[in-house]
Amino acid sequence: MNKFYDHQSGRTLQERPEAYILDKVFDPEYFSELKESFALIRESNVLPYNLELGRSGINTIDKDVGADVLNSAFDKVSAKARSIFGQDVKPTYALWVAYRGFRANLPRHIDDNACTYTIDLCMSYETQWPIYIEGQEILLEPNQAVVYYGEDQYHWRGEFPSPLKNEVQMIFFHFAEPNHWFFTEGPQHKQEIVRIKEAHQKKNGIK
């Protein structure tokens, strides 16, 4: 696999295969159950809200309310991930999110966290909101996912359509090699990864 230096992040990245859509990620019955479970969790809990990205979420690392439901879905996807990315890959963390309102956005970035292998599943949308992976436009229907490499491939979304009445629900499933820092150093090592990037960006006047 070819490697190259990325000045924006100050990291050495790997060239990766083009993103693609995975259809029918779950069997339809389980997918409906999963949607219903998250609807019930939202009805009876206030979920953590990310102000910068305009989304509420459930994170398996933080063991948020609903993380057990998310982990059961994560288990099911892990077998698929091993057949796609290789038998050695291990689950790192998963995140369920609902983007809503005028704050919803996703700037162009590569991931700081343990997202070497990424499967982003569409749970629902009111108005479809394309995601771009290295410039390739991806439109997902519910129960479809985009397969890509979050730490190596820049990804973003355009303006959030119809912010007054839109909601887009996704689940992000992430995997990495057993020798990834997530496993050797622990999940908290992410802070160090971010610190090094920010120091590089400050030094080089990169926003």
Residue numbers at the binding site for Fe ion (CB under 5 A)? 111
CB 45 within 8 A of CB 36: no
Q: Closer CB to Fe ion, residue 53 or residue 84?
A: 53
Give yes or no for a contact between 31 and 39, defined as CB atoms under 8 angstroms apart: no
DSSP 115: -
Cβ closer to Fe ion: 68 or 198? 198
Q: Which residue is nearest to Fe ion (CB)?
A: 111
Smallest separation (angstroms) from Fe ion to the CB of 155: 6
Quote the least distance from Cβ 156 to Fe ion, whole Å.
9
**Smallest separation (angstroms) from Fe ion to the CB of 28:** 27
The nearer residue to Fe ion, 116 or 143, going by C-beta atoms, is: 116
Question: What is the smallest separation between the CB atom of 190 and Fe ion, expressed in angstroms?
Answer: 13
- Angle subtended by helix axes 28-44 and 67-85, to nearest 10: 140
Q: Which is nearer to Fe ion, 111 or 152 (CB)?
A: 111
Residue 168 CA: distances (Å) to CA of 110, 124, 165: 21, 6, 10
CA 55 to chain centre: 13
Please choose, from the candidates 9, 4, 5, 13, the residue with its C-alpha nearest in 3D space to the C-alpha of residue 199.
9
- Shortest Cβ 172–Fe ion spacing (Å): 8
How near is the Cβ of 112 to Fe ion at its closest, in Å? Answer: 9
Alpha-helix residue ranges (DSSP H) falling in 108-189 = 181-184
- Please, which residue, 47 or 146, has the CB nearer to Fe ion? 146
What are the strands, taking DSSP E only, across 102-184? 117-125, 131-133, 136-138, 145-148, 155-157, 167-176
The DSSP annotation for 57-98 comes to: EEETTTT-TTHHHHHHHHHHHHHHHHHHH-TT-EEEEEEEEE
* CB nearer to Fe ion: pick between 37 and 50: 50
